[in-house]
A and B are shown apart, each in its own frame.
Chain A
Amino acid sequence: MERKQIGNGAYITVLDSQKFNRCRITLHFQFPANREQATAAAVLPLVLERGYADCPDMTELSRRLAKLYGADLAVDNAVNGGNRILTVDIVGICDPFALEGENLTQEYLKIALGVAFDPYLVNGVFDPEAVQIEKATLAQRLEAEINDKRSYCVRQARRKFYGSSKAGIERDGYLEELPALDAAALKRVYDEILRTATVDVMVQGANAQLVEKAVLQRLSSIDRAPAALEPATLMPRQECRHYTETFSDLVQAKLCMLFAASETLNGEKLEANRLAMALFGGSVTSRLFLNVREKQSLCYYCGSSAGVMGGVMMVDSGVEPKNAAKAEQAILHELDQLLHGPITDEELEDCRRGILSSMESVEDTLSGVENWYYMQICRGEELCSPAESRRRLLAVTKEQVRQVLAGYSLSVSYLVTAKEDAQ
């Protein structure tokens, strides 16, 4: 697998996709997070997804995608530690499955490039009407974040954990800044992203040479000056801070615990981290699942995960409001037991087998393959196949698992609970 440089801060990675009946073209634009531009960067995907110069109308674009047998176009922004990623991707069925012999792949490329590089403009800026509509859509989304209490609790915990650091800049922007955002400001942020982002094109099942040529042609008209990307975030260790937020009529409380990492994990430590998460709370044979959920019945769900670029380990759980404090103690107890108590060969190997199996199935979906390699690119690593990672995972020892877990310290514990129970 090779990530080939095709221009200044621009790369193409061609991934094997022979067995699939669909193909996929993705353009990733990665850039350092910027507080002043965060709200515009959040509105941008919504405006871009509405249409582009050759197909400005949102409904017409939907119809064009339907004509291509329901090709799926998505424009998103994502968090990668202190960096943000604007992604345009299109996926659809391969040409041999077309009913009229159409060249579908060529159409997918036209749409993806059009959306990414040729937006619909009115007097040199985004269509003000579209911007207005999408600002309203984003405002609704921001206002509605309390509807799903699980994700709301995680967001609130992250806000406390990252504070004003770059990793904490809101992916979805800031509600109070939306009214002042206009079409011209949005265009300036878009131009800045095209100029400064590291561009990664991932191709699966389309003509890579054609894609490369077309991307280079678009980039040649931009005065490119790729910005240095932020290294992985490491938040300072500090005494755990507890927060409680209450709602009326809430039935189940949500508890999110965020642990700060002491170092940026790479190489073999990444595989040790995978195994550590599976053992602590990332699988049905984990300590959190078996002991906190099954034996103690303290939570319906209780799982752990780690974000390497964000320098964080998260445990989130749904708990009986009156049991929240007990659940937190039980979670910390399980971590302590892994650090200082015995780890059996059986539980370690059970978890290892589960991860090995998951790694092998990564290559069974287009998105699985792409995510596998793009995540490595985001972490600044050399590309490594799932097979190579499996070999490294096989060598991970209990001691390495303990070392990884010892690097995490509890920093924030956020509880969303029922008003009646908190009183």
Chain B
Amino acid sequence: MKTNQMAVKAAEYEIITLPSGLTVQVRPMPGYSSVHAVYGTDFGSIDRFFTVDGKKVVVPEGTAHFLEHKMFESDEGDAFSLYAKTGAQANAFTSFEKTCYIFTATSQIDESLDVLLGMVGKPYFTEQTIAKEQGIIGQEIKMYDDSPDWRMLTESMRCLYSAHPIRDDIAGTVESIAQITPEMLYDCCKAFYRPGSMVLSVAGNVTKEQVLAACARAGLDQPVQQAPKVERLMPADCAGVAQSSSTLYMPVAKPCFALAYKEKPVAFGDTRRAILCDMISELICGGMTPLYRRLYDSGLVNPEFDGDFMSVRGAGCFMFSGESSEPEKVEQMIWDEIERLRREGVDEETFTLCKNQSYGSLITDLGNVEDTASAMNAAFMKGRTLSDEIAALASLTKQDADEALQTMLLRENCAVVHIYPAEA
């Protein structure tokens, strides 16, 4: 694939490491009105076991997500009320391996940055505020319990992994979050909310000087006295899948299915492999493939049928999921297609088209303020930049995909999950 100099230039942005250890990424976007900021830490739901300065910490399921909620509170009130004074729209999210705090604003950017850096830098927890949050998060957990997609993801992970915390629901359970104490939350903050493990990514109508000045106001331009020594502990998992199948019953109209494959996670900074893995599911069952056409035209799947790759610290998986009145038939067709591709190799033209598609997607991110800041942040957490992604994509060949298929998506590493309609 050729390289477009305009794209290469568009993907460039400044990355600064401050004396405190905080990484700052800024991409000014001329002509845009808004600013999007993402302040993230590589602490997610899977980080349940770790040591801080030699002290072993074990936290219940759902702690990272719980902490995300609590971070909006301080002894001066909640951050939403502070953002209301700037007009910024704020939010946050927790995934398996990170937690991010975000805002979008068009004015009073300096003030909004101050709120963002202040709320995350000054944790404030009491028994009372924790108890109140347990009620709200309990409702959130119950909402996920009714979602077939969410239940499918969690159940698939439980089939693939015997001990890795990817088995746990990101939000935890009503029972697990009841065990959370202020001390646990302070331990998590000490370990993962220090400047050295955080990255601030800002894009849009903003300058580097503005962002750095905000960091200075928050004291993040100063060296940290003594960074704690943190070690993540991951329980050892079984070699193959924990269980090869599982069945749930829910109030759904027709059966839902998932084929999940346990895979080695992508190493930090291995951009080529990460992009290749993202392309492989598209090569197997994307809209351009003969398999998708056969499944769709025979009414075995609907447009929501999808294949995805996911990689987190210590765990990885491919997952093909959808709704079908004949899930076993779909599963057999996916297995057969993977075997055929392993045997015959992927189609050269389809591979090139997939690369084109991925290139378009990378360019698209760069034209949107929110997507740009989010993509910069996500790339940093994976040990790469957006320029690295464009370069890695350009270097991928059909041979890379063919080789990968020899070691990935093996039948013995596959688990099947079904959700069948419960009786009304």
Contacts and interface: CB of A to CB of B under 8 A. Distances in A.
A21 interface: yes
B230 to A, nearest CB: 33
A100 B2 contact: yes
A147 interface: yes
Contact of B142 (A100, A136, A300): A300
B356 interface: yes
Interface in B370-424: 422-424
A363 interface: yes
Interface of B is mostly: mixed
Contact of A297 (B4, B10, B139, B142): B139
A380 interface: no
Contact of A140 (B30, B83, B251, B323): B323
A394 to B, nearest CB: 13
A275 B81 CA distance: 17
Contacts of A18: 31
A158 interface: no
A299 interface: yes
Contact of B89 (A140, A144, A358): A358
Interface stretch (B46-54, B100-108, B329-337): B100-108
B198 to A, nearest CB: 24
Contacts of B253: 143-147
B154 interface: no
Given A97-B7, A99-B1, A147-B252, A364 B32 contact: yes
A299 B139 contact: yes
B236 interface: no
Contacts of A97: 4, 6-7, 10, 363
Contacts of A248: 251, 422-424
Contacts of B2: 99-100
Given A69-B360, A249-B251, A364 B353 contact: no
Interface in B280-297: 286-290, 292-293, 296-297
Contact of A364 (B34, B135, B140, B357): B34
A328 B249 CA distance: 30
Given A97-B6, A361-B106, A22 B87 contact: no
A249 B142 contact: no
A19 interface: yes
B354 A356 contact: no
B299 A250 contact: no
Interface stretch (B143-151, B208-216, B220-228, B307-315): B143-151
B368 to A, nearest CB: 6
Contacts of A21: 10, 363-364, 366-367
B33 A136 contact: no
Given A71-B360, A285-B80, A318 B139 contact: yes
A316 interface: no
Contacts of A361: 33-34, 104, 106, 369
A6 interface: no
A93 interface: yes
Interface stretch (A59-67, A108-116, A332-340): A59-67
B358 A144 contact: no
B106 A360 contact: yes
Contacts of A357: 34, 87-89, 104-107
Given A62-B287, A252-B142, A360 B136 contact: no
Contacts of B289: 59
Contacts of A365: 368
B146 A133 contact: no
B4 A354 contact: no
B58 interface: no
Contacts of B148: 147
Contacts of A147: 148, 252-253, 323
A360 B2 CA distance: 37
A359 B421 CA distance: 43
Interface string A146-163: 111100000000000000
A69 B352 CA distance: 10
Nearest to A96: B6
A137 B140 CA distance: 31
Interface string B125-163: 000000010011001101101111000000000000000
B357 A70 contact: yes
A140 B252 CA distance: 12
Given A21-B367, A22-B367, A251-B146, A144 B288 contact: no
Nearest to A99: B2
B178 to A, nearest CB: 15
Nearest to B358: A70
Contacts of B15: none
A93 B360 CA distance: 7
B254 interface: yes
Contacts of B364: 21-22, 70, 93
Contact of A70 (B142, B356, B368): B356
B302 interface: yes
Contacts of A146: 251-253
A353 B84 contact: yes
A178 interface: no
Given A20-B367, A97-B363, A356 B87 contact: yes
B136 A297 contact: yes
Contact of A67 (B88, B89, B353, B423): B353
A141 B302 contact: yes
B302 A247 contact: no
Nearest to A254: B146
A208 interface: no
A350 interface: yes
B250 interface: yes
Contacts of B356: 66-70, 99
B74 interface: no
B373 to A, nearest CB: 12
A302 to B, nearest CB: 10
B164 to A, nearest CB: 26
Contacts of B423: 248
A354 B1 CA distance: 44
A293 B81 CA distance: 15
6 contacts: A69-B360, A99-B359, A149-B146, A251-B146, A284-B90, A297-B135
Closest 9 CB pairs of A and B: A69-B360, A19-B31, A300-B139, A70-B360, A353-B87, A350-B84, A357-B87, A70-B357, A360-B106
